[in-house]
Every structure is written in structure tokens, then in C-alpha cells.
Amino acid sequence: MTKTLFQKIIDREIPARIEHEDARCIVIHDIRPQAPVHLLIIPKKPIPRLAEAVTADEAVLGHLLVVAGEMAAKLRLERGLRLVVNSGPDAGESVPHVHVHLLAGRPMAWPPG
């Protein structure tokens, strides 16, 4: 099986600007930011899409949200943030490895798409 871009970053085969790392995830700065703060919160376990997540993935998926909160506190994002998960090509998925976009630092419009 071919490694995803994110697996290569996790394995340090591709450089990235790392904001946080622990045993279950890595947080990097997006190379094409859509907001002044644009982080990617990526599980180290490759889960291609949300539809392919299983009950055993519940803890790591929940951990991604906890880490998002920790990043918000660390970066003092008191004015708000948006979390986005793209799942599938019609949703804008560019890497088949579940990840959470944390966007902040500017007002966000609704609807987002």
C-alpha cells in the first residue's frame, strides 16, 4: 500500500511545520492556508475516510477534537475557530487520510461552501 502524504510527514520523509505531536496525532501548518491560522490535525493511524472509520477509531477521532481545543488555548483563539473535515472528492478531500482543519484568525462566513 502506498503511503499518503500525511504518513510521509509523520515518518519525517517530507518536511512540515509541526505545531504539536503526541502518540496519536500530529498537528501541522497547512501549506496553502485559507485563514491566518490554518492547522491540520492528523491521526497517526491512517483512516482513509470517515465512512471507513470503525468503532475502534472512536478514541483517536475524539482525541483530534481535544487537541483542537488545546491548540485553540495555546494560540489564544478566543474570538473563535472553525473545524472542518472533508470526506470524499465532492467535499474537497485532497488526501485520503482523515484530518481536521482548524481555521481561525478571521471572520468565517456561513454557509461555508
- Name the H helices within 1-113: 5-10, 58-74
Q: Is the pLDDT of residue 6 over 80?
A: yes
Domain residues for 88?
A: 5-104
Q: Is the pLDDT of residue 113 over 70?
A: no
The answer to whether residue 112 sits within a structural domain is no
> pLDDT > 90: what percent of the chain?
88
The answer to whether residue 24 sits within a structural domain is yes
Which residues in 4-113 belong to E strands, given as ranges?
18-21, 25-29, 37-43, 81-84, 100-104
Mean pLDDT value across residues 13-17:
97
The answer to whether residue 110 sits within a structural domain is no
The answer to whether residue 28 sits within a structural domain is yes
pLDDT band at 84 (very low <50, low <70, confident <90, very high): very high
Mean pLDDT value across residues 84-106:
93
CATH number at residue 92: 3.30.428.10
Mean pLDDT value across residues 48-69:
96
The answer to whether residue 81 sits within a structural domain is yes
The residues assigned a catalytic role are 99
The answer to whether residue 109 sits within a structural domain is no
Q: How far is CA 57 from the centre of its chain?
A: 15
